[in-house]
């Protein structure tokens, strides 16, 4: 079987090409050759509201220095309360790192219909910081606004999950759709697929995408994942900027 040849500099130009290609190759037996992996990275960069979306609760996980725990809890509770009025805030995991260089905070918003969105921050406090409370407040504001902006998009997945589901959409049989509502005109998705797999594109029409390069809505990681999937599985069809996918129907026997 002739290998599919992929240029690792395409699209996101990092691990996304490798991850998606190897996953599909492992399941299908299709050989693949990837060249120039991370070839376009500069040196030093090699490492790397619809009603149904109403937020009912937000889970918070914090792994931060103990000296900032109380301030962060108060700041996050206040900030999330201002942006998500009526939502319950739960601190699910709180851990003291005992190190200023180890800060991680994860926010997960839960909608009334069961959709979840996440937003996180990983970092450390600058050595020259004079006011730790002010720094904690800045981190809190950044996190709260980031989660709010993610939810405001009105999508079915957040930006970090969208590219992860592309490979499954390509492998499954039939149509699937996980739009994020990030079209330039901010119009709501008009493609619906019910539990039986029946497709309803509403008043719109299906526009098949060209797949010779990364394409569609979403992050560059998502666009790259679509391109790799189409190269590895030519029978996969992408429509409407990648919001709608007709999978190849690959199964393990």
Show me where the domains of the chain are located. Answer: 1-42, 55-153, 157-248
Q: What is the DSSP code string of 147-203?
A: HHHHHHT--SS-HHHHHHHHHHHHHSEEEE----S-STT-PPP--EE-TT--EE-TT
Are 193 and 200 in contact by the 8 Å Cβ rule? The answer is: yes
What is the model's pLDDT at position 61?
98
Place of tokens 């918003």: 109
Query: Which element (helix H / strand E) includes 229?
Result: helix 220-232
What is the model's pLDDT at position 185?
54
Strand partners, 4: 32
Alpha carbon of residue 150 to chain centroid: 10
**Token couple for 188:** 């709501």
Neighbours of 250 (CB within 10 A): 17
Largest CA distance in the chain: 62
What is the model's pLDDT at position 208?
92
- Cα–Cα dist 180/155, whole Å: 3
The CATH label, of 2.60.40.10, 2.60.120.10, 3.30.390.30, 3.30.360.20, for the domain at 55-153 is: 3.30.360.20
What is the model's pLDDT at position 144?
97
pLDDT 10s per residue in the chain (253 long)?
678 888 888 887 667 787 788 788 877 878 788 787 766 655 444 433 444 568 999 999 999 999 999 999 999 999 999 999 989 999 999 999 998 889 999 999 999 888 889 999 999 988 888 899 999 999 999 999 999 998 888 777 888 888 999 999 999 988 888 887 766 554 444 555 554 455 555 556 789 999 999 999 988 999 999 999 999 999 999 999 998 999 999 877 6
Are 212 and 241 in contact by the 8 Å Cβ rule? The answer is: no
Strand partners, 59: 90, 108
């Amino acid at each position: 079987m002739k290998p599919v040849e992929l240029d690792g500099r395409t699209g996101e130009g990092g691990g996304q090409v490798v991850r998606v290609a190897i996953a599909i190759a492992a399941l299908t037996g299709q050989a693949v050759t990837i060249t120039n992996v991370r070839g376009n990275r500069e040196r030093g960069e090699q490492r790397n509201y619809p009603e149904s979306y109403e937020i009912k609760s937000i889970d918070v996980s914090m792994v931060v220095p103990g000296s900032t725990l109380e301030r962060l809890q108060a700041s996050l509770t206040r900030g999330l309360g201002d942006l998500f009025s009526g939502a319950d805030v739960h601190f699910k995991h709180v851990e003291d790192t005992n190190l200023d260089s180890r800060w991680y905070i994860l926010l997960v918003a839960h909608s009334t219909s069961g959709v979840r969105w996440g937003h996180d921050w990983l970092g450390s406090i600058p050595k020259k910081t004079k006011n730790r409370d002010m720094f904690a407040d800045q981190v809190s504001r950044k996190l709260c606004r980031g989660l709010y902006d993610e939810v405001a998009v009105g999508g079915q997945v957040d930006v970090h999950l969208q590219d992860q589901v592309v490979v499954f959409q390509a492998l499954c049989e039939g149509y699937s759709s996980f739009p994020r509502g990030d079209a330039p005109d901010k119009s709501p998705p008009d493609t619906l697929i019910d539990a039986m797999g029946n497709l309803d594109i509403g008043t719109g029409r299906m526009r098949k995408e060209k797949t010779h390069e990364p394409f569609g809505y979403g992050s560059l990681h998502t666009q790259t994942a679509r391109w790799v999937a189409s190269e590895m599985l030519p029978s996969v069809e992408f429509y409407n900027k990648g919001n709608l996918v007709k999978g190849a129907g690959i199964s393990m026997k």
